[in-house]
Structure 1
């Protein structure tokens, strides 16, 4: 029964085999880093076999990630162990708050606007402003809800407040961020995982390995959407915004499959010392704050 429950999600995954490397980063950030960060390759191969992915495909992806500086390889005898390198750790650390504890910030009634003179490095400016959460209202004109922290390169730019009535603020937000595309991505996430939530609520039980599969694919798909979400105050989002529903669904499924997935890791995940990877209390607090 558990395989049938996961089949639609696994079919979607098999349609995009090039994403294996991204799922590797997800399982490290979500499950391995909290347990110390280093794990035997055999553990990962067993997990990916449950996804229907071959050992060769996974080994190739692991080697590529190591070559690109995302993973570090440790050899002990004939066994290989991998840990997330500093580059990968920092990337997932920055993303974790938005993934696991996302709440809309308060609306202070206006936007902060930033106007550049156009003489700087446009690509560097665009990358820094988007990373800080700013949207583009017009060429060279950036805005974000009041209180958003400015990147260092904006220290010399012209800054001012802007705002109107709520409908005007909503229209300005819709113009400055790709909200339609983000909303559609949330709806696809809901459509993909609502059947799993219904099955679990109805008493379907997953094996411990399938619980881990469900957990990792859940976070993998959710983070692809949520990390593109500008995380705006609820007051200036469209009235039918699906982000809150997606977060609630993700949280419910995550805590349902967490016990079984952690049991599988207890019994199957080991580090280069041959010891089981210890549990972390950090996991239990996810989606609760």
Structure 2
């Protein structure tokens, strides 16, 4: 693939939403550096983000922010620097790994609807809910059927087959579905094109796809895949993205680090 063709493909995915450089760096290190000893040299990181249209100055600002916030740590290597996820950064990326990389989410988890009395303050009700609860209104929420106790609340089994449109829009907001549809379309087009010969190019395509998928899936409530139909926009995007991640496989880190200025 020529550079112009690569840039067209990258732009196709980039148009699916904004790229915040610090978040992109988290995506890159989270995908490529999964063990405590794994790292990317600064020049390798710069080589990858340049392919995504990001200049060195923007990368430096992002790295400074990530060090300040405790996401990454740096080790000097002569005049250069190597970048690692910190223990905190690795724990944060590991905590969402299943959500990001699972090809087929579990759909057979029972759901309960929990309703508080009108006299219960909305903030107090919110404090009762688990992190993955889906709020439908100030005092009504859907939760996975766990051992959570909800004193003085009405708790009943919930069937997603009878969702009204307003509930669908709450569970899967139209703007999120629109972005999923756009990502699905962009990735599907890329899957119909030849695979780049260059490892750096393949890795750049993998990372830009993964970044936008991660950006969207982490906005989505985890119950959406249970409550929505199997062919909803998020599921279609997941199928395309997982095919792309298999096609543009995670590179061997040592081989990637050995590359000079993006040349195989």
For Structure 1 versus Structure 2, the TM-score category normalised by the shorter chain is 0.7 to 0.9
Higher mean alpha-carbon deviation, 95-104 vs 235-244, is at 235-244
1:175-221 per-position Cα deviation (integer Å, ceiling 9, x unaligned): 64244333222101112211111114xxx433110010011111101
> What is the aligned residue count?
254
Q: Say whether 1:197 aligns with 2:191.
A: yes
Higher mean alpha-carbon deviation, 188-197 vs 135-144, is at 135-144
Root mean square deviation of aligned Cα: 3.2
Instruction: State the TM-score, normalized to the length of structure 2.
Output: 0.80
Instruction: State the TM-score, normalized to the length of structure 1.
Output: 0.74
Distance 1:42 1:107 in 2: 45
CA shift, 1:79, in A, is 2.3
1:263-289 per-position Cα deviation (integer Å, ceiling 9, x unaligned): 5x332427xxxxxxxxxxxxxxxxxxx
Q: Say whether 1:160 aligns with 2:149.
A: no
Decide whether aligned partners of structure 1 residues 157 and 4 sit closer, same or farther in structure 2, where only a CA change above 3 A counts.
Answer: farther
Please list every run of 5 or more consecutive structure 1 residues that lacks an aligned counterpart in the other structure. Answer: 271-289
Could you say which residue in structure 2 is the equivalent of 1:10? Answer: 10
Secondary structure of 2:76's partner?
strand
Distance 2:225 2:88 in 1: 33
Distance 2:169 2:152 in 1: 22
CA shift, 1:145, in A, is 4.2
2:122·2:139 contact (CA, 8 Å) conserved in 1?
no
Could you say which residue in structure 1 is the equivalent of 2:235? Answer: 244
Could you say which residue in structure 2 is the equivalent of 1:53? Answer: 54
Could you say which residue in structure 2 is the equivalent of 1:287? Answer: none
Higher helix share: 1
Q: Say whether 1:141 aligns with 2:140.
A: yes
Please list every run of 5 or more consecutive structure 2 residues that lacks an aligned counterpart in the other structure. Answer: 259-264
CA shift, 1:92, in A, is 1.0
CA shift, 1:172, in A, is 7.3
Secondary structure of 1:132's partner?
coil
1:23·1:220 contact (CA, 8 Å) conserved in 2?
yes
Distance 1:15 1:243 in 2: 14
Could you say which residue in structure 1 is the equivalent of 2:179? Answer: 185
